[in-house]
Amino acid sequence: MGVEIPKTSYSGAIRQISFGSANKVTMGGANSFPFHVFEGEMPNPPRIAMEVYDHPPEDWPEAALAPFKDVVDDPVKWAGKCIEEYGAEIICLQLKGLDPNGKDDPVEDAVATASRVAEAVEVPLIVWGCGNDEKDAEALKAICEACEGRGLMVGPVTENNYSRVGAAAIAYQHVVAAMTPIDINLAKQLNILLGNLGVPDDRIVIDPNSAALGYGIEYTYSVMERIRMAALLQEDERLAFPIICNMAREVWKVKEVGIPQQEDPKLGDPEERGIMMEAMTASLLLNAGADLLIMRHPEAIKRTRKLISDMMG
Protein backbone atom coordinates (compact mmCIF):
# COMPACT_ATOMS: atom_id res chain seq x y z
CA MET A 1 0.00 0.00 0.00
CA GLY A 2 1.17 3.49 -0.71
CA VAL A 3 0.53 6.87 0.81
CA GLU A 4 -1.73 9.15 -1.12
CA ILE A 5 0.04 12.50 -1.54
CA PRO A 6 -2.48 15.29 -2.05
CA LYS A 7 -2.11 16.86 -5.47
CA THR A 8 -2.81 20.51 -6.06
CA SER A 9 -5.55 21.07 -8.59
CA TYR A 10 -4.57 23.92 -10.79
CA SER A 11 -7.24 25.69 -12.74
CA GLY A 12 -5.11 28.29 -14.54
CA ALA A 13 -1.96 28.42 -16.63
CA ILE A 14 0.68 31.02 -17.39
CA ARG A 15 0.49 32.56 -20.86
CA GLN A 16 3.18 31.72 -23.35
CA ILE A 17 5.06 34.76 -24.53
CA SER A 18 7.53 34.82 -27.43
CA PHE A 19 9.89 37.52 -28.52
CA GLY A 20 12.75 37.91 -30.98
CA SER A 21 12.80 37.98 -34.76
CA ALA A 22 14.83 35.54 -36.85
CA ASN A 23 15.54 33.69 -33.68
CA LYS A 24 12.63 33.52 -31.24
CA VAL A 25 12.35 32.42 -27.66
CA THR A 26 9.17 31.34 -25.85
CA MET A 27 8.58 31.60 -22.13
CA GLY A 28 5.83 30.66 -19.72
CA GLY A 29 3.09 28.12 -20.31
CA ALA A 30 3.39 26.39 -16.94
CA ASN A 31 0.23 24.98 -15.40
CA SER A 32 1.74 24.06 -12.03
CA PHE A 33 4.04 25.61 -9.44
CA PRO A 34 7.69 26.00 -10.44
CA PHE A 35 9.36 22.64 -11.16
CA HIS A 36 6.33 20.74 -9.86
CA VAL A 37 6.63 18.63 -12.99
CA PHE A 38 5.20 15.65 -11.11
CA GLU A 39 1.76 17.21 -11.27
CA GLY A 40 1.84 19.59 -14.21
CA GLU A 41 3.68 20.82 -17.25
CA MET A 42 6.45 23.33 -17.66
CA PRO A 43 6.66 23.38 -21.45
CA ASN A 44 9.32 26.11 -21.47
CA PRO A 45 12.03 25.75 -18.83
CA PRO A 46 13.12 29.13 -17.45
CA ARG A 47 15.53 31.11 -19.65
CA ILE A 48 18.63 33.12 -18.88
CA ALA A 49 19.54 36.38 -20.61
CA MET A 50 23.11 37.67 -20.37
CA GLU A 51 23.47 41.36 -19.71
CA VAL A 52 25.70 43.83 -21.52
CA TYR A 53 26.04 47.52 -20.67
CA ASP A 54 26.13 50.67 -22.75
CA HIS A 55 29.28 51.90 -20.95
CA PRO A 56 32.19 50.13 -19.28
CA PRO A 57 31.06 49.37 -15.70
CA GLU A 58 32.73 51.54 -13.08
CA ASP A 59 31.65 49.91 -9.88
CA TRP A 60 31.76 46.17 -10.53
CA PRO A 61 33.79 43.85 -8.31
CA GLU A 62 36.81 42.41 -10.11
CA ALA A 63 35.21 38.94 -10.23
CA ALA A 64 32.30 40.20 -12.31
CA LEU A 65 34.44 42.29 -14.61
CA ALA A 66 37.13 39.71 -15.36
CA PRO A 67 35.24 37.64 -17.97
CA PHE A 68 34.38 40.75 -20.00
CA LYS A 69 37.49 42.91 -19.61
CA ASP A 70 38.34 42.79 -23.29
CA VAL A 71 34.86 43.79 -24.47
CA VAL A 72 33.38 46.21 -21.94
CA ASP A 73 34.01 49.26 -24.10
CA ASP A 74 31.73 48.03 -26.87
CA PRO A 75 28.29 46.53 -26.21
CA VAL A 76 28.28 44.86 -29.63
CA LYS A 77 31.54 43.01 -28.96
CA TRP A 78 30.34 42.29 -25.44
CA ALA A 79 27.11 40.74 -26.72
CA GLY A 80 29.12 38.79 -29.28
CA LYS A 81 31.33 37.31 -26.61
CA CYS A 82 28.32 36.35 -24.49
CA ILE A 83 26.80 34.50 -27.43
CA GLU A 84 29.88 32.87 -28.90
CA GLU A 85 31.86 32.07 -25.82
CA TYR A 86 29.19 31.65 -23.17
CA GLY A 87 26.28 30.39 -25.23
CA ALA A 88 23.88 33.23 -24.36
CA GLU A 89 20.48 32.57 -25.91
CA ILE A 90 19.15 36.04 -25.03
CA ILE A 91 20.96 39.37 -24.60
CA CYS A 92 19.83 42.14 -22.28
CA LEU A 93 21.20 45.57 -23.08
CA GLN A 94 21.21 47.68 -19.92
CA LEU A 95 21.11 51.37 -20.79
CA LYS A 96 22.44 52.59 -17.48
CA GLY A 97 24.04 55.64 -19.09
CA LEU A 98 20.61 57.23 -19.60
CA ASP A 99 20.33 57.99 -15.89
CA PRO A 100 20.00 61.76 -15.30
CA ASN A 101 21.79 61.25 -11.98
CA GLY A 102 24.63 59.51 -13.74
CA LYS A 103 26.02 59.97 -17.26
CA ASP A 104 22.75 61.45 -18.51
CA ASP A 105 23.32 60.18 -22.07
CA PRO A 106 21.17 61.87 -24.69
CA VAL A 107 18.32 59.67 -25.89
CA GLU A 108 19.83 59.56 -29.41
CA ASP A 109 22.96 57.86 -28.05
CA ALA A 110 20.89 55.17 -26.37
CA VAL A 111 18.88 54.62 -29.54
CA ALA A 112 22.09 54.31 -31.55
CA THR A 113 23.54 51.79 -29.10
CA ALA A 114 20.36 49.72 -29.03
CA SER A 115 20.11 49.75 -32.82
CA ARG A 116 23.72 48.67 -33.23
CA VAL A 117 23.26 45.75 -30.85
CA ALA A 118 19.91 44.81 -32.38
CA GLU A 119 21.49 44.64 -35.82
CA ALA A 120 24.62 42.84 -34.73
CA VAL A 121 23.09 39.94 -32.82
CA GLU A 122 20.51 37.43 -33.94
CA VAL A 123 19.35 36.20 -30.56
CA PRO A 124 16.32 37.80 -28.90
CA LEU A 125 17.14 41.14 -27.32
CA ILE A 126 15.89 42.83 -24.16
CA VAL A 127 16.47 46.57 -23.85
CA TRP A 128 16.39 47.88 -20.31
CA GLY A 129 16.26 51.54 -19.31
CA CYS A 130 17.90 53.29 -16.38
CA GLY A 131 14.93 53.34 -14.00
CA ASN A 132 14.12 57.01 -14.45
CA ASP A 133 10.52 56.98 -15.67
CA GLU A 134 10.74 60.09 -17.83
CA LYS A 135 14.04 59.37 -19.47
CA ASP A 136 13.09 55.74 -20.04
CA ALA A 137 9.78 56.76 -21.61
CA GLU A 138 11.56 58.88 -24.20
CA ALA A 139 14.34 56.41 -24.88
CA LEU A 140 12.28 53.22 -24.97
CA LYS A 141 9.70 54.85 -27.22
CA ALA A 142 12.37 55.85 -29.69
CA ILE A 143 14.03 52.44 -29.48
CA CYS A 144 10.71 50.68 -30.13
CA GLU A 145 10.43 52.69 -33.32
CA ALA A 146 14.03 52.30 -34.40
CA CYS A 147 13.95 48.54 -33.86
CA GLU A 148 10.66 47.81 -35.59
CA GLY A 149 10.53 44.20 -36.68
CA ARG A 150 13.14 43.10 -34.16
CA GLY A 151 10.57 41.86 -31.60
CA LEU A 152 12.30 43.32 -28.57
CA MET A 153 11.38 43.10 -24.95
CA VAL A 154 11.57 46.58 -23.39
CA GLY A 155 11.50 47.57 -19.76
CA PRO A 156 11.08 48.70 -17.11
CA VAL A 157 7.60 49.95 -17.96
CA THR A 158 6.04 51.55 -14.87
CA GLU A 159 2.73 53.09 -13.89
CA ASN A 160 4.25 56.49 -14.69
CA ASN A 161 5.32 55.77 -18.25
CA TYR A 162 3.31 52.76 -19.37
CA SER A 163 1.08 54.67 -21.78
CA ARG A 164 3.97 56.17 -23.75
CA VAL A 165 6.12 53.04 -23.88
CA GLY A 166 3.08 50.80 -24.21
CA ALA A 167 1.77 52.72 -27.23
CA ALA A 168 5.13 52.42 -28.97
CA ALA A 169 5.33 48.72 -28.14
CA ILE A 170 1.88 48.20 -29.67
CA ALA A 171 2.76 50.17 -32.79
CA TYR A 172 6.08 48.43 -33.41
CA GLN A 173 5.21 45.04 -31.95
CA HIS A 174 7.50 44.60 -28.99
CA VAL A 175 6.98 42.91 -25.62
CA VAL A 176 6.86 45.05 -22.46
CA ALA A 177 8.22 44.19 -19.01
CA ALA A 178 5.81 45.76 -16.52
CA MET A 179 7.63 46.68 -13.34
CA THR A 180 5.98 47.35 -9.98
CA PRO A 181 7.61 47.63 -6.55
CA ILE A 182 7.25 44.18 -4.95
CA ASP A 183 3.48 44.30 -4.65
CA ILE A 184 0.96 41.86 -6.12
CA ASN A 185 -1.89 44.38 -6.35
CA LEU A 186 0.21 46.98 -8.10
CA ALA A 187 1.47 44.30 -10.49
CA LYS A 188 -2.07 43.35 -11.36
CA GLN A 189 -3.14 46.99 -11.68
CA LEU A 190 -0.36 47.79 -14.15
CA ASN A 191 -1.24 44.74 -16.25
CA ILE A 192 -4.84 45.91 -16.34
CA LEU A 193 -3.74 49.36 -17.45
CA LEU A 194 -1.55 47.89 -20.18
CA GLY A 195 -4.44 45.74 -21.33
CA ASN A 196 -6.78 48.75 -21.42
CA LEU A 197 -4.20 50.60 -23.46
CA GLY A 198 -4.31 47.83 -26.02
CA VAL A 199 -1.12 45.90 -25.36
CA PRO A 200 -2.00 42.34 -26.39
CA ASP A 201 -1.85 39.71 -23.66
CA ASP A 202 0.89 37.83 -25.42
CA ARG A 203 3.19 40.82 -25.12
CA ILE A 204 3.35 41.44 -21.36
CA VAL A 205 5.73 40.03 -18.79
CA ILE A 206 5.81 40.86 -15.07
CA ASP A 207 8.89 42.37 -13.41
CA PRO A 208 8.19 42.11 -9.67
CA ASN A 209 11.34 44.14 -8.91
CA SER A 210 13.99 41.64 -7.94
CA ALA A 211 16.04 41.91 -4.81
CA ALA A 212 19.23 39.96 -4.17
CA LEU A 213 20.12 37.33 -1.62
CA GLY A 214 20.65 39.13 1.68
CA TYR A 215 19.06 42.32 0.42
CA GLY A 216 15.39 41.57 0.63
CA ILE A 217 15.03 38.55 -1.65
CA GLU A 218 12.37 37.22 0.71
CA TYR A 219 10.00 39.99 -0.37
CA THR A 220 10.47 39.26 -4.06
CA TYR A 221 10.23 35.53 -3.36
CA SER A 222 6.89 35.78 -1.59
CA VAL A 223 5.36 38.24 -4.02
CA MET A 224 6.30 35.92 -6.89
CA GLU A 225 4.81 32.92 -5.09
CA ARG A 226 1.62 34.86 -4.51
CA ILE A 227 1.45 36.00 -8.13
CA ARG A 228 1.84 32.37 -9.24
CA MET A 229 -0.82 31.15 -6.82
CA ALA A 230 -3.26 33.83 -7.99
CA ALA A 231 -2.65 32.88 -11.63
CA LEU A 232 -2.75 29.10 -11.21
CA LEU A 233 -5.26 28.57 -8.42
CA GLN A 234 -7.58 31.55 -8.67
CA GLU A 235 -7.34 31.97 -12.44
CA ASP A 236 -6.42 35.62 -12.05
CA GLU A 237 -5.74 36.16 -15.71
CA ARG A 238 -4.20 39.63 -15.14
CA LEU A 239 -1.40 37.90 -13.26
CA ALA A 240 -1.00 34.90 -15.56
CA PHE A 241 2.10 36.30 -17.29
CA PRO A 242 5.68 35.06 -17.26
CA ILE A 243 7.94 36.70 -14.67
CA ILE A 244 11.25 38.36 -15.48
CA CYS A 245 13.91 39.07 -12.84
CA ASN A 246 16.59 41.67 -13.57
CA MET A 247 18.70 40.29 -10.76
CA ALA A 248 22.44 40.39 -11.50
CA ARG A 249 22.82 44.13 -10.99
CA GLU A 250 21.32 43.73 -7.52
CA VAL A 251 23.54 40.80 -6.58
CA TRP A 252 26.84 42.35 -7.54
CA LYS A 253 26.26 45.46 -5.48
CA VAL A 254 25.61 43.51 -2.29
CA LYS A 255 28.14 44.60 0.30
CA GLU A 256 29.53 41.15 1.02
CA VAL A 257 30.07 40.43 -2.66
CA GLY A 258 32.67 43.16 -2.96
CA ILE A 259 34.66 42.49 0.22
CA PRO A 260 38.24 41.27 -0.49
CA GLN A 261 39.24 38.03 1.18
CA GLN A 262 41.98 39.68 3.26
CA GLU A 263 39.38 41.88 4.89
CA ASP A 264 37.21 38.96 5.98
CA PRO A 265 38.77 35.53 5.37
CA LYS A 266 35.61 33.81 6.63
CA LEU A 267 33.79 34.92 3.50
CA GLY A 268 36.06 32.84 1.28
CA ASP A 269 37.30 33.50 -2.23
CA PRO A 270 35.57 36.63 -3.58
CA GLU A 271 35.13 35.27 -7.09
CA GLU A 272 33.56 32.02 -5.93
CA ARG A 273 31.47 33.93 -3.38
CA GLY A 274 30.13 36.37 -5.98
CA ILE A 275 29.32 33.55 -8.39
CA MET A 276 27.52 31.66 -5.66
CA MET A 277 25.59 34.72 -4.49
CA GLU A 278 24.41 35.18 -8.06
CA ALA A 279 23.59 31.50 -8.63
CA MET A 280 21.74 31.18 -5.32
CA THR A 281 19.75 34.33 -5.96
CA ALA A 282 18.80 32.68 -9.25
CA SER A 283 17.95 29.41 -7.52
CA LEU A 284 15.52 31.05 -5.12
CA LEU A 285 13.91 33.24 -7.77
CA LEU A 286 13.47 30.23 -10.06
CA ASN A 287 11.69 28.31 -7.34
CA ALA A 288 9.43 31.27 -6.65
CA GLY A 289 8.36 31.37 -10.31
CA ALA A 290 10.90 33.24 -12.48
CA ASP A 291 10.62 32.47 -16.20
CA LEU A 292 13.46 34.70 -17.34
CA LEU A 293 16.55 35.73 -15.39
CA ILE A 294 18.94 38.49 -16.37
CA MET A 295 22.34 37.27 -15.22
CA ARG A 296 25.96 38.36 -15.40
CA HIS A 297 28.74 35.92 -14.52
CA PRO A 298 29.26 33.10 -17.05
CA GLU A 299 30.02 30.57 -14.32
CA ALA A 300 26.92 31.52 -12.30
CA ILE A 301 24.91 31.08 -15.50
CA LYS A 302 26.45 27.70 -16.24
CA ARG A 303 25.59 26.47 -12.75
CA THR A 304 22.08 27.85 -12.94
CA ARG A 305 21.49 26.09 -16.27
CA LYS A 306 22.57 22.82 -14.74
CA LEU A 307 20.29 23.37 -11.76
CA ILE A 308 17.34 24.08 -14.04
CA SER A 309 17.96 20.95 -16.04
CA ASP A 310 18.24 18.88 -12.84
CA MET A 311 15.03 20.28 -11.46
CA MET A 312 13.22 19.57 -14.71
CA GLY A 313 14.33 15.93 -14.34
Interface contacts to another protein, rule CB under 8 A = 1-6, 8, 35-38, 59, 101-102, 131, 211, 213-219, 221-222, 225-226, 229, 253-256, 265-270, 272-273, 275-277, 279-280, 283-284, 287, 303-304, 306-307, 310-313
Residue whose CB is less far from another protein, 185 or 196: 185
- Comparing CB distances to another protein, the nearer of 262 and 313 is 313
Break the chain down into helix, strand, coil percent, rounded to 5.
45, 15, 40
Nearest CA among 121, 109, 129, 177 for reference residue 150: 121
SS3 114: helix
- Distance separating alpha carbons of residues 196 and 190, to the nearest angstrom: 10
Residues 6+ apart with CB under 8 A from 310: none
- Return the ∠ at Cα 44 (arms to 40 and 45), rounded to 5°: 90
Smallest distance, another protein to C-beta of residue 302, A: 10
In angstroms, give the least distance from the CB of 77 to another protein: 27
Q: How far is the CB of 79 from another protein (least distance, A)?
A: 25
Q: How far is the CB of 260 from another protein (least distance, A)?
A: 13
Nearer Cβ to another protein, position 235 or 272?
Answer: 272
Nearest distance, CB of residue 283 and another protein, angstroms: 5
Q: In whole angstroms, how close is the CB of 240 to another protein at the nearest point?
A: 18
- Sequence-ordered list of residues with C-beta below 8 angstroms from that of 229, at least 6 positions apart, any chain: none
Closest approach, Cβ 25 to another protein, in A, equals: 23
Which positions ≥6 away from 260 have C-beta within 8 Å?
270
Half-sphere exposure of 220 (CA within 13 A, CB side): 29
Instruction: Output the smallest distance, CB 159 to another protein, in A.
Output: 16
Q: Which of 286, 300, 200, 203 is nearest to 248 (CA)?
A: 300
Residues 6+ apart with CB under 8 A from 283: 304, 307
Q: Which is nearer to another protein, 37 or 76 (CB)?
A: 37
- By C-beta, is 89 or 225 nearer to another protein? 225
Residue 93 sits at the vertex; the CA angle it makes with 260 and 178, to the nearest 5 degrees, is 105
Looking at beta carbons only, is 111 or 224 nearer to another protein?
Answer: 224
Cα gap 46→27, rounded to integer Å:
7
Nearer to another protein, 90 or 213 (CB): 213
- Residue 92, helix vs strand vs coil: strand
Nearer of residues 100 and 198 to another protein, judged by Cβ: 100
Mapped onto helix, strand or coil, the DSSP state of residue 137 is helix
